[in-house]
């Protein structure tokens, strides 16, 4: 069972002015899929705070997967991608590309998401948009690939694309 952290990035949510619906949707879907949520918090749209939380969860909690929700848009306060780029060691651009590509089939606004993804140590980190609908749709896109991705990040030596 993979250990997961959910990081919601929201100024209003961090001040208790808004309920974190996106994080709760993410939790529900991941738990139904068999993932174990071991860390969850809501932080403000502050690059250093986001980066510090990602580092702590990857380096100290040794989480397998960290998913963020929020802060991937175009407003000046949307800095989740910048914070994530500060902490990842190797990019995994296909996750963010798939989210945008599939999202474009539903809304032209998907092209405005600046989310990124990558690896820090043995932790996969991916940014999802901040709305519950986008989280639901995004997880539908990436969940099928996550078990394989996480096994590879952890060092699974089997060759990809080879049938047993």
Q: What is the pLDDT of residue 129?
A: 96
Under 8 Å between Cβ of 26 and 6: yes
Task: Report d(CA 51, CA 53) in Å as an integer.
Answer: 5
Q: What is the pLDDT of residue 164?
A: 47
Note the maximum CA span of the chain.
52
**For 71, what's the count of Cα atoms within 13 Å in the CB-facing half-sphere?**
31
Task: Report d(CA 124, CA 13) in Å as an integer.
Answer: 24
Under 8 Å between Cβ of 48 and 104: no
Q: What is the pLDDT of residue 88?
A: 98
Core vs surface per residue 10-47: b (16+ CB within 10 A) or e: bbebbeeeeebbbbbbbbebbeeeebebeeeebbebbb
Q: What is the pLDDT of residue 163?
A: 55
Measuring CA to CA, how many Å separate 45 from each of 42, 54, 114, 159? 10, 13, 14, 40
Q: What is the pLDDT of residue 158?
A: 84
Q: What is the pLDDT of residue 5?
A: 98
Q: Where are the domains of the chain?
A: 3-153
Which residues of the chain have a pLDDT value below 70? 161-164
* Domain 3-153 class, CATH top level: alpha beta
């Amino acid at each position: 069972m993979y250990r997961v952290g959910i990081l919601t990035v929201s100024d209003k949510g961090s001040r208790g002015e808004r309920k974190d619906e996106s994080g709760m949707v993410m939790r529900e879907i991941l738990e139904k899929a068999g993932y174990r949520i071991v860390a969850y918090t809501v932080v403000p749209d502050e690059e250093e705070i986001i980066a510090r939380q990602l580092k702590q969860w990857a380096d100290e909690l040794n989480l397998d997967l960290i998913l963020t929700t929020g802060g991937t848009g175009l407003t000046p306060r949307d800095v989740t991608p910048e914070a994530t780029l500060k902490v990842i060691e190797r990019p995994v651009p296909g996750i963010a590309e798939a989210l945008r590509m599939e999202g474009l089939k539903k809304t032209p606004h998907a092209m405005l998401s600046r989310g990124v993804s990558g690896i820090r140590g043995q932790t996969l980190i991916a940014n999802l948009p901040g709305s519950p609908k986008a989280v639901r749709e995004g997880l539908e896109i990436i969940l099928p690939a996550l078990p394989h991705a996480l096994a590879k990040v952890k060092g699974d030596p089997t060759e990809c694309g080879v049938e047993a």
